Structure 1
Amino acid sequence: MDLQLKGKTVVVTGASRGIGRSIAELFAEEGANVAICARNAEQVAQAVKALEAKGVKAFGQAVDIADGPVLKAFIEAAAQALGGIDVLVSNASALVQGNGEDAWKAMFDVDMMGAVRTWDAARPHLEKAAGAHGDACFVITSSISAAEADNPSCYGAMKAALIHFAKGVAREAAPNKVRCNVVSPGTVFFEGGVWGNVKQGMPGFFDQMIKRNPTGRMATPEEVAAATVFLASPRSAFTTGINMVVDGAISRRVNF
């Protein structure tokens, strides 16, 4: 299937490794030009080089997502470098758990306000692209943790807030042909990632989590990326306001 992404312009935050990196690479493989950001400048440079090797235009900057002015400046620089923005993916996360005030602040500043600020900065560019081509899209990476709770935790609560925010964006932006969707992964394994570290440090707990999933495994970053790229593509032009769960059926919730 041709996803009709060739020549489109895409911005992905938190894209130097893991899910974000896979999202950026899959967009590039579909022929889209891609701008990325992350905190580590060396990793960003390496990712940009890998994207350019796929034959597309790539741009990257080291950005602290919690720094609002710097994040908004990156969005403007990316739009200038790519010649606009057709797709925005807010993927960056503080990746902290717990109920302490510092943890809540980190998740709010990076996950919640990161999404809000990228949307505010990119919105004029997305609306312009939609006006010219009939479709533009904003995708947010949330988590199945948004719907699962064993104790008070900033991670699940902020991920849930993102889904609520996305629905409001989808409703408001629909008349301008700008869509907004959420992808909520379950457990995702890659070396150096959260579950990669758990496997190394707590192998017993890791094995328990594997057994919890009916599929008998965790997702790969590429599988989450595939869902994200499809939802962002013009092939999904009538899909907006949804939360796509990509969890291998580890959750027991029923989505109506």
Structure 2
Amino acid sequence: MDLGLKGLRALVTGGTKGIGRAIAETLAAEGADIAICARKADEVESTVSALAAKGVRASGRAVDVADGPGLAGWVADVAAEFGGLDIVVANVSALAIGQDEASWQKSFETDMLGTVRLVNAAMPFLEQSKAGAIVAISSVSGREIDFAAGPYGTFKAAIIHYTQGLAFQLAGKGIRANTVSPGNTYFEGGVWNQIKDGNPELYATALALNPTGRMGTPQEMANAAVFLASPAASFITGTNLVVDGALTRGVQF
């Protein structure tokens, strides 16, 4: 299937590792120009080089999405460089699961406001696009109570609500908005890699919950996100796509 992404202009936050990196690479492989941000400049630089090697325009900057003015400035600069924007993917999470107030504040600033500020900054450019699409990365922790109950799950649920509201509000402008809710996703250097090494009992428990007998991969999550971002999903908006290998058991209607 031709996803229709060639020549479109995409922006991904947290694009140097894990799910964000896989999304950026998949968009580039489909022919989209791609801009990424992350907090570490050296990782941004190396990722941009790898993306550019796929034959598309690639750009990046060290940005903390909790820095509102910095995020907005980066979005505007990418739009100026690319001549507009068609796709924005809000991927960054603080991964805060503590119950202390600092964890709640960090998750609010990064997960929730990072998404809202990205969308607000991109909106003038998405309104000019003929293929405007917003994809926010949520989590199955926003769908049911698990060990990440607290700020992480709460704000992941809020992101779904926010994005579905955007879908309704922006449908008349031809801008689509969807979320992807990954299940447990394993990659080297990721959270589950750290848990496997540091808390093998929790890792074994989590692994046993999935009837597939394994965790997902960043590429499997990216495939879902890139499809929803693409013109091939032109009549899909307001959807939360769960990609979890039947981990969760709640029925979505």
Fold equivalence (TM over 0.5): yes
Measured after TM superposition, the shift of residue 186 of structure 1 is 0.6
Shift >2 Å, 4+ stretches: none
Equivalence for 1:141: 137
Q: For residues 210 and 182 of structure 2, what CA distance do their matches in structure 1 show?
A: 13
* TM-score normalized by the length of structure 1: 0.97
Q: For residues 254 and 187 of structure 1, what CA distance do their matches in structure 2 show?
A: 18
What are the ranges of 5 or more consecutive residues in structure 2 without an aligned counterpart? Answer: none
Equivalence for 1:16: 16
- 1:32-81, CA deviations, whole angstroms, 9 ceiling, x for partnerless residues? 00000000000000100000011110000000111100000010011112
Partner AA of 1:232 in structure 2: A
Measured after TM superposition, the shift of residue 150 of structure 1 is 4.7
Q: 1:172 aligns with which of 169, 173, 177?
A: 169
Q: 2:200 aligns with which of 193, 199, 203?
A: 203
Partner AA of 1:169 in structure 2: L
- 1:177-219, CA deviations, whole angstroms, 9 ceiling, x for partnerless residues? 0000000001000010000111111222212211110010000
Shifted more, 17-26 versus 205-214: the winner is 205-214
Q: 1:183 aligns with which of 180, 185, 189?
A: 180
Equivalence for 1:112: 112
Partner AA of 1:234 in structure 2: P
The residue correspondences of 1:1-256 to structure 2 (distance < 5 A) are 1-130=1-130, 135-150=131-146, 152-256=149-253
Q: Aligned Cα RMSD in Å? A: 0.9
Q: For residues 117 and 49 of structure 1, what CA distance do their matches in structure 2 show?
A: 27
Q: For residues 217 and 63 of structure 1, what CA distance do their matches in structure 2 show?
A: 33
Q: For residues 167 and 147 of structure 1, what CA distance do their matches in structure 2 show?
A: 14
Partner AA of 2:176 in structure 1: R
- 1:136-194, CA deviations, whole angstroms, 9 ceiling, x for partnerless residues? 10000000000122575110000000000001110110000000000000100001000
Q: For residues 206 and 81 of structure 1, what CA distance do their matches in structure 2 show?
A: 43
Measured after TM superposition, the shift of residue 98 of structure 1 is 2.1
Q: In percent, how many aligned pairs have the same letter?
A: 50
Q: For residues 200 and 54 of structure 1, what CA distance do their matches in structure 2 show?
A: 34
Q: For residues 116 and 104 of structure 2, what CA distance do their matches in structure 1 show?
A: 16
Whether contact under 8 Å (1:34, 1:82) holds in the other structure is no
Q: For residues 69 and 207 of structure 1, what CA distance do their matches in structure 2 show?
A: 42
SS in structure 1 opposite 2:242?
A: strand
Whether contact under 8 Å (1:198, 1:205) holds in the other structure is yes
* TM-score normalized by the length of structure 2: 0.98
Whether contact under 8 Å (1:35, 1:82) holds in the other structure is no
